[in-house]
Structure 1
Amino acid sequence: MGFYIRKAISVGPFRFNLSKSGVGVSAGVKGLRFGTGPRGNYVHMGSGGLYYRKTLPSGSTGRNQTSNSPELQQSNTEIEHESLREIESAHITQMVDSSSADLVAEMNDNRKKVRIWPFIAVLGATLTFVAFKSSETPTLAFAIAAVSVILTVFASVKDSLRKTTVLFFELEPEIEALYQELHDSFGQLSSSSSKWHVEAEGAVKDRKRNAGATSVIKRTSISLSLGNPPYVKTNVSVPSIPVGKQTLYFFPDKVLIFEPNGVGAVSYPNLRISVERTRFIEDGSVPRDAKVVDRTWKYVNKRGGPDKRFKDNRELPIALYEDLNLTSDTGLNERIEVSRVGHGDGFSSAIAMLAKSI
C-alpha cells in the first residue's frame, strides 16, 4: 500500500515543520513562530531506539505461530450451540503502556474538550431570527448573521486546534524500511477478497445437524485501509483495522486503539500475533480467492456422510481461511479472519521486526 513521510503538517492556520532540534510550529507570516495551537509530538526512531519530544516553545517480540486447525467452524449463529464467548479487548483505559501514558493522556484530554462552535452557531441563529422579527429594517439582522458566521468559523477552527494531537515521525532508513515492510504486508492482507472481525465463538451441541461443525462464530465484514484517527494529524500513512467498536492504528512506534470514549496504546514489543489456518464451512458463497479443501453436508450421519432423512440436505464447501489473533499483556484481545491464506505470516513478521528495533 502507498507509504509516505511528509516533512510538514498543516492543522488549520498552523504548520508544523521538522527541524534538527524537533518540531516547530508557525502560522501566518513565513518564519513567525509562537507557542499556540495544538501540541506537536516529535518521535525519532533509529538504531539508538525511540526519542520523544514535544513541540518547541516560542522563545518483546511479537510471536508468529502458524498451525493447521482440525476444528470446523461455521458462522450460522441460529444453530444450537453453547453460549458464545466474546472475543474482545479489555477496557480502553487498561490498554496503556508506560511509554505511551503521556501521549494517551493528552489524546484523551483533547477528545473530552467540548466543541464551542455549535453553541455559537445556535446563539447567532437565534439572535438573527429575533432581529428579523423585531426590527423594521433587516440591516441589523444581516449584520448579526454576518458576525455569527464569522464567529462560528473561527470557533470551528479553534475547536479543531484544541482537540487535535500532532504526531511527527522522523524515521532513520532502517526503521523506514521496516515500516515499509509493515505497509507491504498489510497491503497483502487487505487484498483478500473477504476480511472479517470475529466477535464471538461457541461450541456446537449437535454436530450431526450442523454440517459436522465443532464451533460456531459470530463475525462481521470489515475493510482494511490507510488513514488517521479522528483529531490526529501525522506525517506518515497509517494502516488501520476496525475491530468492533474499536479501531487499531499501526503507527511506526506502537498500535493506538481508538474507540468513541477513549484511546489506548500497545507497544510493538508487547503485541503478540498468532496466525492459524482454520477450516470453515461456508453456508453462503465462497470468496473468489479462498481455497476449497473439502466438502460436507448440511446434515451429516454418524459416518460423516449425508443424512438422507432431510430432503433439503445440500452439499456445503469447506474453505481454508487464515485467522490472526492479536493480544497483549495489557488486555488487547482481537481476532480477524481473511479469505486468502499465506499473508498473515508476513504481517506478523513485520510487527516482530519492528518490535526488535525498538
Structure 2
Amino acid sequence: MGFYIRKSIRVGLFRFNLSQQGVGVSVGLKGLRIGTGPRGNYVHIGRGGLYYRATLPSANGNQPFLPHIDTTVIPEGTHAPLVEIESAAASKIVDSSSRDLLNEMNMKQARWRIWPWVGVLGLLTVFLGLRSGWSNSALWSALVIGSILTIAFAARDAMAKTVVLFYDFDAEMEKAYEALHSSGQQVSTAVAAWHIEAEGAVHDRKYHAGASNLVRRKKTTISRSSPPYVKTNIETISMVVGRQTLHFFPDRVLIYDEKGVGAVSYGELQLQVNAKQFIESGPLPRDATVVDRTWQFVNKKGGPDRRFKNNRELPVCLYDELKFSSVTGLNEVVQISRNGVGDTFARAIFDLARVMPSERVS
C-alpha cells in the first residue's frame, strides 16, 4: 500500500475534517450532526513554514521468525563486559519546538482509564446479587446496566486519551515524506530485524567463531503503525527499540515508552548506516546475503577447532546496521537482515530534514 493522506478522521462519534480553513469537528448520530469542541491538532508543513494549530473546546476524541537458543557454555573472561546501548527516558528527549503538542500527548497518556473499574464493579454487583438471592430479572438488569456503563466509559476514556493529529503539506514536503515512508516500508520488508541491546569486545576469539565483537540482540519489529491513542490522517513507520518505539511522523520522530512521549526533529536526528558482517548462529533469514563461512569454535589459523564436538559451520552475513542518535539523548542500534535498504532510508531522512521549514511561532 502506498502513501496517502486522509481528509477526515473518526474518533468514536466525533469526526474531524480537514479543509482549507483548517480542522473542523462535528459529532452526532445518524440524522443528527452538531458542532462540538474536542481538541484536534493541525500541522502545516510547507513554504509558509512549519506551524501548529489546535481546535479548542467551545466556550459553550508469513510465519514468525523463531529465535535460536544456543545452550553451549562459553568460559568466563573470553569477552569484555557488554556495554548497554539505550536512550534516555522518552519524556526527556524533547527539542524546544511544538512543546504544547508533546505536553498534550504526555498528559493524555498519563490519564487513568476508568472503564476497567466500572466493569469490575458491575461484575461484583452481579456476583453479590447471586449470593443474595436476587431474581433473574434483577440479575439480568444489573448485567445489562453494567455492560452499558462499561461501554460508555470505554468510549469516554478513548476520547479523553486520544490525540487527533492532522497533517497538511505542500507538494515538495509531501514528496519528501512520501520518500521517507516508501524507504521505511522497504526497511520493514526485511525478514528479520533485531534491536542491539549491548555490545563488547571479544578477548578470546576461538570461543566466539573468530568474531572481534560480541552483541546482545533481541528480535524486534518494524512496521506501518500509529502510536497508541493517536489518530492521524497519514500512515507512519514504527520501529520498536527495546522499551521504546520510534514513530516517524512528517515533522519529527515521536518516541514512546511507558513513562511518556518524547520527540526528535529530523534536523537533530543522526542516522548512521553501515553494512556489517555478522556471524549468524541462529536460523538464517531467507533475504540474508552470505559473504563467508566460519566455525563456531576456531583455531589460531581460523579453521575448525577439533577439540570441540558438534563444532558447527556458521554463515557470515552482511546485514545493515542503523544507529540512531541525537544530542537530546536518543541512542539506539537496529540490525536488519536485508542489506542495502538502510542507505535509502537514511538519505530520505536527510532530504526531509533539508527541506523542512523552520517552525513559526504565533
* Global fold match (TM > 0.5): yes
Relative contact order, higher structure (CA 8 A, sep 6+): 1
Q: Is the 8 A contact 1:25 1:56 kept in 2?
A: no
Partner SS state of residue 10, structure 2: strand
Q: Distance in 1 between matches of 2:268 and 2:2?
A: 26
**Change in 2 beyond 3 A, CA 1:311/1:112:** closer
Q: What is aligned with 2:189? A: 191
**Change in 2 beyond 3 A, CA 1:285/1:117:** closer
| Identity, % of aligned positions | 52
Q: Is the 8 A contact 1:115 1:159 kept in 2?
A: yes
Q: Distance in 1 between matches of 2:47 and 2:305?
A: 63
Partner SS state of residue 87, structure 2: coil
Q: Is the 8 A contact 2:185 2:224 kept in 1?
A: no
Residue 272 of structure 2, aligned match among 263, 271, 274? 274
**Change in 2 beyond 3 A, CA 1:292/1:138:** closer
1:40 paired to 2:40: yes
Matches within 5 A, 1:15-34: 15-28=15-28, 32-34=34-36
Q: What is aligned with 1:116? A: 114
Q: Distance in 1 between matches of 2:112 and 2:339?
A: 45
Q: Distance in 2 between matches of 1:279 and 1:15?
A: 50
Q: Distance in 2 between matches of 1:136 and 1:310?
A: 73
**Change in 2 beyond 3 A, CA 1:122/1:281:** closer
Q: Distance in 2 between matches of 1:78 and 1:165?
A: 50
**Change in 2 beyond 3 A, CA 1:82/1:234:** same
Q: CA RMSD in A?
A: 2.1
Matches within 5 A, 1:1-358: 1-28=1-28, 32-35=34-37, 37=38, 39-55=39-55, 57-58=57-58, 79=74, 80-134=78-132, 137-358=135-356
Q: Is the 8 A contact 1:23 1:56 kept in 2?
A: no
Partner SS state of residue 207, structure 2: coil
Shift of 1:111: 1.3
Shift of 1:324: 0.6
Q: What is aligned with 1:71? A: none
**Change in 2 beyond 3 A, CA 1:144/1:345:** same
The gaps in structure 2 that reach 5 residues or longer are: 60-68, 357-362
Moved over 6 A (4+): none
**What TM-score, normalized to structure 2?**
0.88
Shift of 1:140: 3.5
**What TM-score, normalized to structure 1?**
0.89
Letter in 2 for 1:284: G
Q: Distance in 2 between matches of 1:200 and 1:86?
A: 4
Q: Distance in 1 between matches of 2:311 and 2:141?
A: 75
Shift of 1:279: 1.1
Shift of 1:131: 4.0
